[in-house]
Amino acid sequence: EPEVTQTPSHQVTQMGQEVILRCVPISNHLYFYWYRQILGQKVEFLVSFYNNEISEKSEIFDDQFSVERPDGSNFTLKIRSTKLEDSAMYFCASSENGQETQYFGPGTRLLVL
């Protein structure tokens, strides 16, 4: 069964550094999402992406964040100048169309020191 994959599984970075989290969505899916889960808190929506542009973003998704689909398979989340409070598990998800089930990747655990 096709799966969403994410790399790396863990990332440790220094405050102020840039990180890029990578996702490979399921191949025939057209809608892509990023969510995050701070330890002990609920899973929160960050951004949705369709047709090479952002469809919706939350208030968390400020100028520090950006997303890109650099080629036909990868979907990336860039965090510029990371802060301590960016430490979280980041999940990528994809769906065939915007109303169908979203399938989640295994997540990237980001730790900002």
Partner 1 sequence: AQSVSQHNHHVILSEAASLELGCNYSYGGTVNLFWYVQYPGQHLQLLLKYFSGDPLVKGIKGFEAEFIKSKFSFNLRKPSVQWSDTAEYFCAVTSGYSSASKIIFGSGTRLSIRP
Report DSSP letters for 21-42, one per residue. Answer: EEEE--TT--EEEEEEE-TTS-
CB of 17 to partner 1, least distance (A): 26
Residue 28, token pair as written in the block: 């025939």
Report DSSP letters for 40-63, one per residue. Answer: TS-EEEEEEEETTEEEEE-TT--T
Q: Give, as ranges, the residues between 58 and 97 that touch partner 1 (CB under 8 A).
A: 58, 91, 93, 97
- Residue 102 DSSP SS3: coil
Q: How far apart, in whole angstroms, are the C-alpha atoms of residue 35 and residue 102?
A: 11
CB of 24 to partner 1, least distance (A): 14
Which stretch in 10-18, 37-45, 62-70, 71-79 sits in contact with partner 1 by CB under 8 A?
37-45
Q: Which of 67, 107, 110, 112 binds partner 1 (CB under 8 A)?
A: 107
Nearer residue to partner 1 within complex by CB, 7 or 44: 44
Q: How far apart, in whole angstroms, are the C-alpha atoms of residue 39 and residue 73?
A: 29
Nearer residue to partner 1 within complex by CB, 2 or 16: 2
Binding-site ranges for partner 1 (CB under 8 A) = 31, 33, 35, 41-45, 48-50, 55-56, 58, 91, 93, 97-99, 101-107
